[in-house]
Amino acid sequence: MKIINEMKLEFLGVPENEGFARVAVSAFAVQLDPTLDVLADIKTAVSEAVTNAIVHGYADASGGTVTVAAALQDDGVLSLEIIDKGKGIADIDRAMQPFFTTQPEKERSGMGFSVMQTFMDKVTVESKPGKGTTVRMQKRLREG
C-alpha cells in the first residue's frame, strides 16, 4: 500500500464546520471515482465523527480545533482520521455501544459510532480522558 495523495484540514470545532468537513473529504475522495452511494457513506461517517468531536469532545469548552486528515492509497482505499484535543472518552467500548449517550437530555441517539461502523469498512477509536480522541476510518473506493 502506497499513499498517492493526502490532505489535512484544521478548523474550529463549531457545528457550522461539520458540513465543510464532509464536503471537503468527499471532494478529495472523488479522485478515485467512487460511486455516489460510496460518497454518501463517506459523508455520513465524516459527519458523525466531526459532530462527535464538536458535541462531545468540546462539550465543556466549545471551539477547540478539529483535524481531519485523509489519504488515498494505491490499493483504492481512503483512510481518514478525525482528531480532537477535547475531553476524551473514559470507556471506548461502552461509548461504541448502540444507543449509549452521555447527553440524553439533549436527545442524542447514541448511534454515532454505529453509523460510522455501518458506512465504513473499518473504524477504530483511540482516546484518553483529558487528552482527546482520534477516530480512524477506512473505506474501499475501488479495487486496487
Residue 6 annotated as catalytic: no
Helix (H) or strand (E) holding 1: none
Residue appearing with cell numbers 464532509: 22
Q: What is the pLDDT of residues 51-86, one digit of tens each?
A: 999 988 887 666 799 999 999 999 999 999 999 999
Close Cβ partners of 19 (under 8 Å, ≥ 6 residues apart) = 47
Band (pLDDT 50/70/90 cuts) for residue 115 is confident
Contact 140, 76 (CB under 8 A): yes
CA distances (Å), 31 to each of 6, 26, 80, 89, 119, in order? 11, 9, 15, 34, 19
In the set 108, 126, 136, 140, the catalytic residue is: 108
- Domain definitions of the chain by residue range: 3-140
Q: What is the pLDDT of residues 20-31, one digit of tens each?
A: 999 999 999 999
Q: Helical H runs in the chain?
A: 18-29, 36-52, 92-95, 112-119
In the set 10, 16, 17, 52, the catalytic residue is: 52
Classify domain 3-140 by CATH architecture.
2-Layer Sandwich (3.30)
Residue 5 annotated as catalytic: no
Residue 16 annotated as catalytic: no
In the set 6, 16, 18, 48, the catalytic residue is: 48
